[in-house]
Every structure is written in C-alpha cells, then in structure tokens.
A and B are shown apart, each in its own frame.
Chain A
C-alpha cells in the first residue's frame, strides 16, 4: 500500500492557442501533487504521461487499495524520485479521458460532446497547458521534467519551449520523432477504431455506444509492440490455453498469447476513449521538433539550457536506443550536459515502467544529484 493521493482539478478560461490552429476556450486540467513545495519553490518536478496513463502518477486513492499510480515504483517517499525531497506534479493532458477536458466532454459552442470535433492537440500544446497550470501553482522554474515514451517527448519539448523554466530533462525510452514503422502501427490502430461501425464518425456518445471492437484491436497491436519477442516467448511461448490437444479451430482461442491479448484489449476498451486514442496517437505522429529546422535536430536543440539524462532499453524496438542516441548526438553538438544510460533489459518498451535495478539505480542517483543541487543552492543563498 502506497501513500494516499488526491486528484485535483483546475479550470482555465483563457483560450489556449493550438499549434494546429484555433484554440480551446475553456478547459479543465486534472492533476495530482505529491510531497511539499519548498520555501523557494525550487524542488518541483513535472512528470509527463504517455499514451494510456494519467495525472495519477503515484500513490493510491483513499479506500482503493489497488489503485497505485502508473509510476508508483519510481515516485514516492524513499523512491528514486523521492517525494520527501521533491514536490512532484502529474498533469492529465488535454484530450485525454481521465479528467482533463477531452472529446467526451460537452463543447460549450454546440452543447454536445466534442467527439471528433475535439481539436487536434500536440505535444507542444500539452506542454503549454502544463506551463499554465504551473504558473497558477506559483512554480516559475522546475527542478526537472521527467517522462517516458510520449512523456519523454514532452520532457524534451519542455526544454525547447520553456528552456528557462527547468533545470533538468529526464527523457526515458523516447525519440526525437516517430519513424515510419511507428506511424504505421499507430495508423493500423486508428483504422481499427474508425472502421468500427460503432464509431459513428467519432460521435458515438450520442448513439449510446462505444467502438469497443476497434479499441480492443488497437490495444492488441499496441501491446505487441510494447513487449520484446524474447519476453513474449518466455511468458507465453506456444503454450495452449486449455489442455494439450489442439482444437483445429480458426475462431476459438487456442494459444495463451491470444487469450492474453484479448484480455488486454477487453480491459482497455472498458475504460479508454476511442477519440482520445486517435488524438494521442496523432500527437505522437506529429511530434518532430526538428521539422521547423529543416530536419536538423541539433539546430532545434540549440535553444535548450537544461541538463539531460536519457535512458533507453536494448530490447525496446518501438523506441529503440538508436533514437535516444540521436538526441544525445544533437545535445553533444550543442555542448549540453547529458548523461545516457542504455539498459540491457529484456522487457522491450514496457521496461521503462518496470523495476530493473540498473535502471532504478541510475534514476535514483541522478535525482539525488538534483536534490544535492537544491541543498547547495540553499547554502549559497
């Protein structure tokens, strides 16, 4: 049992201009905070979430023993990101389905749920929205921005959009943009959703249905890409679901892996929103800070001021180490402080959420370093 976390919400009435044009006039952001903000407000850490996660980063909800946050192994009292030292903030991104304004909420302009009309939001839009929430909390400079996968893209983007508002960027299992294969996986998932007859062009709320079939398939595809071949073989191999004799059926579940994927798909479709899935995979596809610089990542990173820690995992083929090394290379060319750990873990992309001791130790020691800087700054003051 972890500590008790309390979700909060903040309402905004100043329109947020969006990268893709237009703006969101009114919106809410769900967030949580852990630990205490120190007197000079210098110990705040923003944790950015990936595709299917939320502002509930760590701790559990009162009276819900199995409700640990998605990065509870990393963040909390005495954990690598120690909430006895840091004030940690998790914010649910716009367009998500966990509390912040999203496509399932009422569009004040029409009085109906946004559905497919929810504007396309990008990593940059999320970062700007997060910055506004921090303004309200009175946090002018973050000790660090931390994120894995799509969350890592936000951490990277933070260091480019608000270079003076952060001292460290911790980018785990991420990439400077998605490659074609990665966009392809996202597109298959999106097609599964939009071709589901229950999708109704994204306005399924009004029909009282959910495109669950599409969501299930989208999740099954995603899940395959988050694991490594080795781990899947180790976990499931060719194990049959029942007994030892084959059914010779094309429709029934035969292998354990099929059963596992169907279960994951089922679970996911029961809580995740189809429009959110489309929006978030699109945000992934669009992220490409080098684009505005003719594809030159080094130029794109020239504005950065932060110190960086990058971490990748050798068996992660969705966000391969080579992609993290591209970021490292561009940081080197800009003469930035950067450390890079390439963890030889078997678990594929999912490794960033797991407990590999080498990974946890590097994270812990890096954040201890950040905490030490706080103390030094205090002594100097």
Chain B
C-alpha cells in the first residue's frame, strides 16, 4: 500500500496544513508526504522497531506505542485528521480503535484490504482463502486478524454513529467508485463523529 498513487489518493483527503496523527504509520512515508506536499504537521504511531527507526531517519515525529494498549495519551479532538492506513485489520480491538480514532480526530480516514474483492470471492468459492498481491499471506500466518469488507465497514461505521464524508475503493492506485465492494482490493473511508 505504499505505492505513490495510493498515497496520493489518501493524501488528497487530508486538508492542507492539518494536524495529523497516523496510527500504524509504517516507515513514515505517508506522514512525510503530507508534511512536504500538504504542509501538515503531526505524529506517527508505530510499534515495530525497524519502522520507528525508519521514521526517525526521515525526520518525522514518531511515537513507539502499542495501539492495543489504547490511545489515552491523545486528547479528544486533538487532531484534524487521524489516519489508520492498513492498520485496523491487524488489531484485536478494531472497533475500540475505530471509536478512539473518531474521538481523537475531527475527521478519520481508514483504509484496509477489502476481502469482498471479486478475486477473493472466487478464491473462497474455490474453497481456499485468498493469497494475492494485496493479501500475500497464508491463512495461518496472516497478520490480518480482522477480515472485513467494504460493506462490513459501512455497517460498523453506522453502528458507531460515524458520519461517512466520502468512501471509495482503490485498485492499482486508481479510485474505484463503481461497485467498490466487488471491484477494489482496498476500501477507504473518510468520516467524522456525529
């Protein structure tokens, strides 16, 4: 998900000059892009030592915290935008984290692999869990412990009273607005709390 086009598609949702929190910021590429290209400020949160180091090398603010321990360190509405790019599916407490994202940020942007993409559906129809470029893991070693679809997220967002500002699919770096639950390997949601 670090391809430039994908990054740009997500970056477009972030208003210029925003104060940003990137939960699960990886090597800090997106945050660095937002700082450079869109005049944003902010912090990344990472658990992995190598990623923390990569962020330090890039010169972006990074906080080594375990998202599973909660986000009490961040105040209500303390960020313009909270990002969770390819993070939610790794978390045991995915719903709590979604609520926390909405609490901390005036807006939230979540992206995750859409398991209802037609190719994944075909694979399951054939009786096997999908192994693809987007989901390159076997069922027994995947870090994706929360397996959800574009549609599933709409339901969860409604349940948690999130107002969806925009949502679309991403496929090969292109925005997919037609049948995204079928045609996109990545789901993107831009929301705020009601």
Q: Which positions in A face B, CB cutoff 8 Å?
A: 325, 328-329, 332-333, 335, 337-344, 358, 361-362, 365-366, 368-369, 372
Contacts and interface: CB of A to CB of B under 8 A. Distances in A.
Nearest to A363: B56
Interface of B: 19, 41, 43, 49, 52-53, 55-57, 59, 61-65, 73-75, 78
Contacts of A329: 73
Given A339-B55, A361-B53, A366-B56, A328 B63 contact: yes
B64 A332 contact: no
Nearest to B53: A361
A341 B64 contact: yes
A136 B93 CA distance: 56
Contact of A335 (B19, B49, B63, B74): B19
A362 B78 contact: no
B52 A362 contact: yes
23 contacts: A325-B65, A325-B73, A329-B73, A332-B43, A332-B74, A333-B75, A333-B78, A338-B43, A338-B63, A339-B61, A339-B62, A339-B63, A340-B62, A341-B56, A341-B64, A342-B65, A344-B49, A358-B53, A361-B53, A362-B56, A365-B53, A368-B57, A372-B59
B102 to A, nearest CB: 18
Q: Dominant SS at the B interface? A: mixed
B61 A358 contact: no
A365 B56 contact: yes
Contact of A328 (B56, B57, B59, B73): B73
Nearest to B72: A329
A254 to B, nearest CB: 40
Contacts, number: 50
A338 B59 CA distance: 11
Nearest to A369: B59
B24 to A, nearest CB: 15
A372 B56 CA distance: 13
Of all A-B residue pairs in the complex, the 6 with the closest CB atoms, nearest first, are A365-B56, A342-B64, A340-B63, A365-B57, A358-B49, A329-B73
A307 to B, nearest CB: 8
Contacts of B78: 332-333
Contacts of A337: 61
Contacts of A333: 75, 78
A302 B105 CA distance: 22
Contacts of B52: 341, 362
A309 to B, nearest CB: 8
A284 B21 CA distance: 34
B67 to A, nearest CB: 13
B61 A338 contact: yes
A342 B53 CA distance: 11
Nearest to A330: B73
A340 B55 CA distance: 11
Given A337-B61, A340-B62, 14 more contacts: A325-B65, A328-B73, A329-B73, A338-B61, A339-B55, A340-B63, A340-B64, A341-B52, A342-B65, A343-B49, A362-B52, A365-B53, A368-B57, A369-B59
Nearest to A307: B61
Which of A329, A343, A344, A362 counts the most B-chain CB atoms under 10 A from its CB?
A: A362
Contacts of A325: 65, 73
A339 B56 contact: yes
Contacts of A369: 56-57, 59
Contacts of A335: 19, 41
B19 to A, nearest CB: 7
Contacts of B19: 335
A333 to B, nearest CB: 6
B61 A362 contact: no
Contacts of A328: 63, 73
A155 to B, nearest CB: 18
Interface centre among A338, A341, A372 (most CB of B within 10 A): A341
Contacts of B59: 369, 372
B108 to A, nearest CB: 18
B6 to A, nearest CB: 25
Contacts of A362: 52-53, 56
B162 to A, nearest CB: 24
A273 B49 CA distance: 40
